[in-house]
Amino acid sequence: MQLSDRIGRRMKLQDLHVLLTVVQAGTMGKAAERLNTSQPNISRSISELEHVLGVRLLDRHRQGIEPTEFGRALLDGGFAVFDELRQTVKNIECLADPAAGEVRIGSIIPLAAGFISSIVDRLSRRYPRIVFRIVATDMETLHRELVERNVDVVMIKRAGPFVDQQFSIDTLFHDSYVVVAGARHPLARRRKVELTELVDQSWVLPPPDTVHGSVLADAFRARGLDYPRASVVTLPSEVRVSLLATGRFLTIFPTSVLRFVTEGPVLKVLPVELPIAPVSVGIVTLKNRTLSPTARLFIEHAREVAKPLARRKG
C-alpha cells in the first residue's frame, strides 16, 4: 500500500493533535493532563503515528521528550493542517455572518499603541462584533507567532527576521523620525537646532537594543557623536509623553506615532536634522496561507489608514 493511501486511511487528526500537545507540554504526563486523558492513551496515539509513518517521531530522555528530525517535519505540517481547518471554520462562520469574526494581530509595541489602535477603532465602528486579539512584543517572538500561525498578520518596521521566502511583506508607508520636546522645554521655541546641542540634554529614551533606540544611535554615530546619556530609559510612549510635559526632557518619536497622539500635553518637534533614512512599515503574512475574510478586511483598512502617511514626505 502506498504511503499516501496509508495516511488517508489510518492517520487520525486526533493522533496528530496529541503529538502537537506532547511537544508543547514537554512530557506525556503533562500532555495527558491537558487533554484530560491517560498517559497510556497518549503513548498509544504516538505509537500509531510512528507505525503509520514508519519512523520514530520522539526521543525520550530524563527531562522529557523532544521531536526527532521526522517529528519536527510532521509538526511543521501539523501546524499548517490545524490552522487551515481553523481558518476554514472561520470562513464558514464569516459567510454566515460577515460582521462577526476574529483577527489576530502581531505587532511591535510602538505600532500597536498608535497605528494599529487607529485601524481597530475605524474597523470596529463599522463592524462592532469583530474581535481583535493584539499581541505586542519583540520581532523574534512575532516571527515565531506567525510561523506557528498563532497570529494572522504581523505589523513591523524593517524586515528583520521576516526575510525568507515563506513570508509576504506589503509595505504600507515609510516612517521618519523626529526629536520631540514638551512645549515648556527651552529649545521648543528655537527655529533651528543643531544635533551637537542635544548631546548633553536630558533624554528619555527607549532601550538602545530596540528599533527606536538603534535609530537614534545611528543618527548620532553618523555625525561622529556619542550616543546621548539617557536620564530615563523606557519604551512605552505614554511614559515618555508624560515626562516631556515637565519641559525637562527630549525624546525621539516616529512621525506616525505623533499623528495618533490625540491626548496629553502639547508636544513640539524640534527643528533639528536627523541623518536617518525613513524606515519602511509593512504588514507581513505567510505565503500560501488562507486568510479569513476578517483578516483580509483588517488588511484593507490598514492600507486606508496608511494612505495619508504614505503621501506625506518623510
pLDDT value at 88 more than 60: yes
H/E segment holding residue 300: helix 293-311
Question: Are 183 and 257 found together in one domain?
Answer: yes
pLDDT of residue 95: 57
Assess contact for 272 and 261: CB atoms under 8 A: no
Total count of domains within the chain: 3
Sheet with 177-182, edge to edge strand ranges: 230-233, 203-205, 250-254, 177-182, 267-269
Distance CA(205)–CA(179), nearest Å, equals: 11
Q: What percent of the chain has pLDDT over 70?
A: 88
Q: What is the mean pLDDT of residues 129-144?
A: 91
pLDDT value at 157 more than 90: no
Q: What is the mean pLDDT of residues 214-237?
A: 83
Q: What's the domain range around 123?
A: 97-174+279-311
Confidence of residue 168 (pLDDT cuts 50, 70, 90): very high
170 occurs within a structural domain: yes
Q: What is the mean pLDDT of residues 237-244?
A: 87
Q: What is the mean pLDDT of residues 152-163?
A: 87
Question: Are 33 and 102 found together in one domain?
Answer: no
CATH code for the domain of 37 = 1.10.10.10
110 occurs within a structural domain: yes
pLDDT value at 1 more than 70: no
- Among 24-38, 55-69, 98-112, 185-199, name the most confident range: 185-199
